[in-house]
Structure 1
Amino acid sequence: MTPIEEFYNGQTLLITGATGFIGKVLLEKILRSCPGIDGVYLLVRPKWGRPTQERVEQLVNCKLFDKLRQSQPNFADKIHAINSDLQHSKLGLSDEDIATLREKVTVVFHVAATIKFDEKLGLSLKLNVVATQEMLKLCKEMNSLKVFVHVSTAYAYCDREHIEEVVYPPPVDPYKLLGAIEWMSEDMISTITPQMIGNRPNTYTFTKALAEHVLVQEGKDLPLCIVRPSIVGAAWKDPIQGWIDNFNGPSGLFIATGKGLLRSMKGDTEAIVDISPVDYVVNMMIAAAWHTAVKKPDSVPVFNCVTSATNPSRWGDIEDVPVYYMKTPLEKAFRRPRACFTQSHMAYEYWNTVGTKIPSMMIDFYLWVTGQKPRMMKIYDKMQKAVATLEFFTTNNWEWTNNNSQLLQTLMTEEDKKTFFLDVRPLHWPTYLENYCIGTKKFVLKENLSDLPAARSHIKMLRNIRWTCNTVLAVILWRVLIARSQLARNLWYLVTNLVFKFLRYCRLSSAKQS
C-alpha cells in the first residue's frame, strides 16, 4: 500500500456535511482510494420529511458513486448514518451515538457549514462557530483520535489582500459575541450585523474566521489541521469530469448565462478568479489529514487550497462560457447565451435593463394575458440579488501563499501524487470550463445530451427572432426619423442616389464588356 492508503487502513471515519457537495466527493474518493477503511459514520439530519437513512441511501445511489460501485459493490455496508442536527447542543446526538463515536472514530472531517452568503448572523454563528465548538468537545472525548480536519474557506480573511497560511486574529471576540447573541432579538442582531462584519462582504466569511480562532483556542491538545478551499467548482478529473450537483458558486452563474437570464455582471476582467475543482479540494483534505496525523506538527497547519498561486485564471476567461453553451446549449433557453463583465455601473444597468428586464416584463405580460402565472420578473429579481452578493469577489483581487500545500506534495510518493493529485499546473482552464458547462447540463439540470439537436434548433430560433426584432425596430426608427427630420430625409435621398448611380454604372460596364 502507498503511505496514505496505509494510514487509512483500518481507520474509522466521521464526516459531517456528507450530503453536501464536498462531502459527497470526499466520501466517494476516500472509500474508493482507501478500501481498507473499516467504516464511515455520517452525521445527517432529517430533511424535508425524509429520514436520515433514506437521505443516505439516495446519496450512495447517485451517479457519482458508479465508479466505486464497480470496484466495491458492497461499499455501502461501511457507511453508518447517525441522526444529528448542528443547531442543537451535543450536535443533536443521542448518548448511545456519542458513546459509539467516542469508542470507534479515529479520523474526523468537519465539512458541514452554512455557505449562504446572506444567512442571518445568529444562524450562521450556530452552524459555523458553535457547531465547531461542539465537534471539538466530542473529539476531545474520542479514545483514539488521530486527526481532526476542519474545512474553512480561503476567503475567511478577505479583508486582507495577501493571505498566508496562518490563523489571523479574529475580527471580534467570538466568545463575547456568542454571549451577546443569546439575549438579543432577531431585529437587534440584524441591526448590529453590518457593524460586526465590518468590511467583510457577508456573514459566511465573518463566521468562518471566528470558527478558525475557536478551533485554535479550544483544540490546542488535539491533532488539528485547517483546509481552506477557494471557490469550489466542478470536478476536474475524478470520478467524473465536470461533475457538479448544485447551483452554488459559479454553477448558478453559468446556468443563468446558458439560459440567457444573465447577460452582464459588474466585475474586473483582469481580476483573479480562484476556482478550485472539487476533486483537488478533496485530495488536499485526505492528504492533509495523513500529514497531520503522521508528522504531528507543533502548531495547527493551515493549507490554502487555491489554484491562483500556480495556475491563475481571470474573470475575463468566464466571458467564454456563452461560447461553450452555444456548442452544448441548455434546453428552453430564455435568450441566446451572452455574458460580459463591466466596471461601469451605467453600462451594467443598461445591459441588464435592455437585455433581461424588459424581455422579462414582456414575457410576463404575455403570460398574464394568456391566463398563466407571471414568473420571469421573480426570476430576474432573484438573479440580481445573487449577482449583488458576488460583486465583492468579481471586483477585488487576493494573493494567497500555499507553502504548506506545496510541501505536502513533496512529501507524497509518486503513486500517492497520481491518486491524490495536488498539482494544478496541468489544468487547462478552457477545457475545464467547457466540461463544467456540460456538467451543469447533465448533472444539475438532468438534461439528456441526445436532445442536443432540439436545443440547438431552439437557439437558432432565438437568433432569428432577435434579428427580426432588430430589423423591424431599425425600420420603424428610420421611418420615424425620415418623417420628422429633414436631415434624415436628405441623408436617405443621398444614399439612394448613390446606390442607383452605382447600379447604373455596373450595368453600363457590363454592357460595354459584352
Structure 2
Amino acid sequence: MLLFLTFVKVIMVSIPEFYEGKNVLLTGATGFMGKVLLEKLLRSCPKVKAVYVLVRNKAGQTPEARIEEITSCKLFDRLREEQPDFKAKIIVVMSELTQPDLDLSEPIKEKLIECINIVFHYAATIRFNETLRDAVQLNVIATQQLLFLAQRMKNLEVFVHVSTAYAYCNRQVIEEVVYPPPVDPKKLIDSLEWMDDDIVSDITPKLLGNRPNTYIYTKALAESVVQQEASKLNIAIVRPSIVGASWKEPFPGWIDNFNGPSGIFIAAGKGILRTMRATNDAVADLIPVDVVINATLAAAWYSGVHRPRKLMVYNCTTGGINAFHWSEVEYHVISTFKRNPLEQAFRRPNVNLTSNHLLYHYWIAVSHKAPAFLYDTYLRITGRSPRMMKTITRLHKAMMLLEYFTSHSWTWNNENMTMLMNQLNPDDKKMFNFDVRQLHWAEYMENYCMGTKKYVLNEEMSGIPAARKHLNKLRNIRYGFNTILVILIWRIFIARSQMARNIWYFVVSLCYKFLSYFRASSTMRY
C-alpha cells in the first residue's frame, strides 16, 4: 500500500510542484541560455525558494551589478509585472570557475553544501576559436570542480549538465548516450600543466582530429568527466544544437547577442553578407532558446522525481523531428529583411549559398571585397575613416567558424526527448512546451529576424518606412550603375570592333525572332 501511494505521488507531482521550496544553484546566469532559465524558473515555478547564481567580477562590474543589469533588461519585463519582488529570490555568489575550489569562500561553500537541491551547469566558453588550454580550463576542469562540490551537497536531488549536440559531430548518427572521449581528460589536464603555449598550439590540430574547434572537443571531454561521476550523483545531460531566438517565451523573437546565426542574419539584412559556403539541402538544426530551457527544467524534474538508474542524455534538436534546411533559412531571412529592412543598409539583402570552392571565392572577391574596397576608398576621399574592409574581414572569420555546420547534416536520436514529453501532464506540456513538431519555421524566422532588429540593434519599428525608402534608393543606384557599366562595355569593347558588333547584332536578332515567334504562336492559339 505504501509503495502504491508513493507511485501515485510520483505520477502526480507537476514541474512547478517539484521546484516548490527548492534551492537551485545556477552557473552561467549571465550567458544567453542562463538568463533565460533564470527568468523562466522564477516565473513558471513561483514557489521556488531561492536561486543561487555563481558570477564573477567582469570589466570592473561586481557580480551584484551584473545580475542587476541582467534582471533589469526587457527579458524580465513579464516576470517584473507578475512578480515585482522576484529579485529577493536571487542570491548572488561571487565565484571564479577557473580558480581552485571555484574561488568560493569557506562559509559560502558550506552554505551551498547544506542547502542546494538542484544544480544547473550552463557556464562554458562558447568561443569556437578559444585556445585549447583556456577551453579545457573553462569547460572541463570547472565542470570537474563543480561536480566535486556537488558530491558534498547533502540534499542534492539532481545535477543537470548542459552540453552541445555537436559534442560527437565526428559521428553521422548520434544516440542519446555518452561516447568514449577523444582522449583521457585527466591525462590531457596533467599534460597541459607542463606544456608551454607554443607546444599546446602545435598539438591542438592533431588532438582535435575531425572535430572542428576546441569548444566541441572540450564539451566531449566534459561529458566524459560527468559520466565518471554518474554513479555518485543523479545526473542528466541536455544537448542543444544551434540555439537561436525565443519561440514563444517570454515573448517571440527575443535575442540579445551577435553569436552564432544571429550575427550572420544581421550581416545579410544589412546587405554586407552576399555569399556563404553552405550546402542548400543540409539541415539547419536551429533550436529556440525557450525550447532548450523548457526541456532542461523538465529533464531535472524527471530525474529528480523518477530517479532513473542510468545517466539520462537528451538530444535537444529539431532536424529529425521538424527538418529545416539552410536554403530555407536564407529564403526566410532575405524575404523578412526585404519586407522589414534594417536601418542604413549597405546594399539590398541578397545572399547566394554555394558549396563550390571556386565559385565561393569568386563571389567573395566580387560581392564582398571589391565593394568594400570601393566604399573605403569613397570614405577616404570624403575625409572619413575606412571601416568596411575590417567589417568584411571579421565577417569572413565568423563565416569560417560556421562553415562546418552549414555544410554537414547529422542524424540525432530523440527517444529520451519523446519519452520526457510523454511523461508531462497536460498543464506542464503547455507551460513547459518543447514539442518542436508545433514549430512553424516561417513564423519563427520572421520573429527571429525582427528580434535581431529590435533587441540586438535597438531599432524602432517606426523606422521601417524610412528604411524601405533607403532600400529603394539603393536599388535605383544599382540599376543606374549597371546601366553605366553596360554603356561603358559597349563603348570600349563592342563599338570599336566589327566582329563584336556582328556578334551583338546576331544575338539581338536571334532574341527578336524568338520573341516574334512566341508572340505569333500566342496569337494563333487564341
Aligned position for 1:296: 307
Aligned position for 1:433: 445
Aligned position for 2:417: 405
Please state if 1:354 is matched with 2:366. yes
Question: Do 1:2 and 1:413's aligned partners in 2 also have CA atoms closer than 8 Å?
Answer: no
Task: Choose which of 241, 253, 266 in structure 2 pairs with 1:230.
Answer: 241
Question: Do 1:2 and 1:416's aligned partners in 2 also have CA atoms closer than 8 Å?
Answer: no
Aligned position for 2:269: 258
Map residues 158-173 of structure 1 onto 2, 5 A cutoff: 158-173=169-184
Aligned position for 1:211: 222
**CA distance in 2: counterparts of 1:242 and 1:297, whole angstroms:** 35
Map residues 174-193 of structure 1 onto 2, 5 A cutoff: 174-193=185-204
CA deviation string 1:42-74 (max 9, x = no partner):
111111111111110011010011111111010
**CA distance in 2: counterparts of 1:442 and 1:493, whole angstroms:** 53
CA deviation string 1:187-246 (max 9, x = no partner):
110100000011000001100000000111134211111000000010001111000011
Please state if 1:326 is matched with 2:338. yes
Aligned position for 1:109: 120
Aligned position for 1:383: 395
Task: Choose which of 336, 354, 375 in structure 2 pairs with 1:342.
Answer: 354
**CA distance in 2: counterparts of 1:269 and 1:254, whole angstroms:** 16
Question: 1:493 offset after TM fit, Å?
Answer: 6.2
Task: Choose which of 84, 87, 94 in structure 1 pairs with 2:98.
Answer: 87
**CA distance in 1: counterparts of 2:188 and 2:506, whole angstroms:** 75
- Which secondary structure state, in structure 2, belongs to the residue aligned with residue 80 of structure 1? strand
Task: Choose which of 127, 137, 142 in structure 1 pairs with 2:153.
Answer: 142
CA deviation string 1:428-464 (max 9, x = no partner):
1111111100000000111111111111111111111
CA deviation string 1:118-157 (max 9, x = no partner):
1100000000000000100111111100111000000000
Question: 1:104 offset after TM fit, Å?
Answer: 1.5
**CA distance in 2: counterparts of 1:24 and 1:492, whole angstroms:** 64
TM-score, normalising length: structure 2: 0.93
- Distance verdict in 2 for CA 1:213–1:481, change over 3 Å: same
Map residues 484-495 of structure 1 onto 2, 5 A cutoff: 484-491=496-503
Question: Do 1:14 and 1:41's aligned partners in 2 also have CA atoms closer than 8 Å?
Answer: yes
Please state if 1:120 is matched with 2:131. yes
CA deviation string 1:86-125 (max 9, x = no partner):
1111112111221121111111100010011111000000
Gaps of 5+ in 2: 1-11, 514-526
CA deviation string 1:400-431 (max 9, x = no partner):
00111100011110000000012111111111
Aligned position for 1:247: 258
Aligned position for 2:86: 75
Aligned position for 1:444: 456
Q: Quote the sequence identity (%).
A: 53
CA deviation string 1:255-289 (max 9, x = no partner):
11001111111111111111110000000000000
- Distance verdict in 2 for CA 1:489–1:104, change over 3 Å: same
CA deviation string 1:148-192 (max 9, x = no partner):
100000000000000000000001111111100011111110100
- Which secondary structure state, in structure 2, belongs to the residue aligned with residue 425 of structure 1? helix
**CA distance in 2: counterparts of 1:498 and 1:276, whole angstroms:** 52
Task: Choose which of 279, 292, 297 in structure 2 pairs with 1:281.
Answer: 292
- Which secondary structure state, in structure 1, belongs to the residue aligned with residue 39 of structure 2? helix
- Which secondary structure state, in structure 1, belongs to the residue aligned with residue 438 of structure 2? coil
**CA distance in 2: counterparts of 1:490 and 1:407, whole angstroms:** 72
Question: Do 1:17 and 1:43's aligned partners in 2 also have CA atoms closer than 8 Å?
Answer: yes
**CA distance in 1: counterparts of 2:219 and 2:372, whole angstroms:** 37
- Distance verdict in 2 for CA 1:291–1:363, change over 3 Å: same
Aligned position for 2:31: 20
Aligned position for 2:15: 4
Supply the AA of the counterpart residue of 1:255.
I
CA deviation string 1:333-364 (max 9, x = no partner):
11111112111112111222111211110111
- Which secondary structure state, in structure 2, belongs to the residue aligned with residue 484 of structure 1? coil
- Which secondary structure state, in structure 2, belongs to the residue aligned with residue 81 of structure 1? strand
Supply the AA of the counterpart residue of 1:87.
T
Question: Do 1:266 and 1:341's aligned partners in 2 also have CA atoms closer than 8 Å?
Answer: yes
Supply the AA of the counterpart residue of 1:347.
L
Question: Do 1:42 and 1:79's aligned partners in 2 also have CA atoms closer than 8 Å?
Answer: yes
CA deviation string 1:460-506 (max 9, x = no partner):
111111111111111101111234321233356678999999xxxxx
Question: 1:372 offset after TM fit, Å?
Answer: 2.1
- Which secondary structure state, in structure 2, belongs to the residue aligned with residue 168 of structure 1? coil
**CA distance in 2: counterparts of 1:93 and 1:231, whole angstroms:** 32
Aligned length: 501
- Distance verdict in 2 for CA 1:89–1:497, change over 3 Å: closer
Map residues 22-61 of structure 1 onto 2, 5 A cutoff: 22-61=33-72
- Distance verdict in 2 for CA 1:176–1:71, change over 3 Å: same
Question: Do 1:91 and 1:131's aligned partners in 2 also have CA atoms closer than 8 Å?
Answer: yes
Please state if 1:316 is matched with 2:327. yes
Question: Do 1:101 and 1:142's aligned partners in 2 also have CA atoms closer than 8 Å?
Answer: yes
Aligned position for 1:396: 408
**CA distance in 2: counterparts of 1:490 and 1:7, whole angstroms:** 83
**CA distance in 2: counterparts of 1:93 and 1:374, whole angstroms:** 47
**CA distance in 2: counterparts of 1:4 and 1:367, whole angstroms:** 58
Question: Do 2:285 and 2:317's aligned partners in 1 also have CA atoms closer than 8 Å?
Answer: yes
Of 90-99 and 60-69, the range deviating more from structure 2:
90-99
- Which secondary structure state, in structure 2, belongs to the residue aligned with residue 36 of structure 1? coil
Aligned position for 1:472: 484
**CA distance in 1: counterparts of 2:207 and 2:433, whole angstroms:** 39
Aligned position for 1:372: 384
**CA distance in 2: counterparts of 1:195 and 1:359, whole angstroms:** 38
Question: Do 2:64 and 2:92's aligned partners in 1 also have CA atoms closer than 8 Å?
Answer: yes
**CA distance in 1: counterparts of 2:511 and 2:431, whole angstroms:** 69
- Which secondary structure state, in structure 1, belongs to the residue aligned with residue 75 of structure 2? helix
